[in-house]
Amino acid sequence: MEVLMGDDVAKQSERPRPGDPTDPRPAHVPVMLDRVLEVLAPALSEPGAVVVDGTLGLGGHSEALLCAHPGLRLVGVDRDTTALERSAQRLAPFADRIDLVHAIYSDIPSALDGLGIDRVHGVLLDLGVSSPQLDEADRGFAYSYDAPLDMRMDRTQPRTAAEVVNTYSAGELSRILKVYGEERFASRVAAAIVRERTKARLDSTRALAELVRDAIPAATRRTGGNPAKRTFQALRIEVNAELTILERTLPAAIGRLALGGRIAVLSYHSLEDRLTKRALAALSTDTTPQDLPVPLPDRQPELRLLTRGSEQPSEHENERNPRAASARFRAAERIREP
Q: What residues form the annotated binding site for S-adenosyl-L-methionine?
A: 59-61, 78, 105, 126, 133
How deeply is 133 buried, as exposed, middle or buried, from its count of CB atoms within 10 A (0-12, 13-18, 19+)?
buried
Strand order from edge to edge, sheet including 98-102:
2-4, 98-102, 73-78, 50-53, 120-126, 257-267, 328-334, 303-305
- Cα dihedral value 85, 86, 88, 93, nearest 10: 160
CA–CA dist 261, 259 (Å, integer)? 5
Closest CA to 313 of 297, 298, 324, 302: 324
Query: What's the burial of 29, exposed, middle or buried (CB within 10 Å: 0-12/13-18/19+)?
Result: middle
Closest by CA to 132, choosing from 234, 57, 60, 64, is 57
CA dist 322 and 315 (Å) reads: 10
Distance, CA of 195 to CA of 85 (rounded, Å) = 41
- Under 8 Å between Cβ of 262 and 295: no
Q: Closest by alpha carbon to 327, among 269, 278, 279? A: 269
Three-state DSSP class for 294?
coil
Question: Residues annotated in the binding site, as ranges?
Answer: 59-61, 78, 105, 126, 133
Instruction: Tell me how far apart the alpha carbons of residues 190 and 176 are, in angstroms, rounded to a whole number.
Output: 9
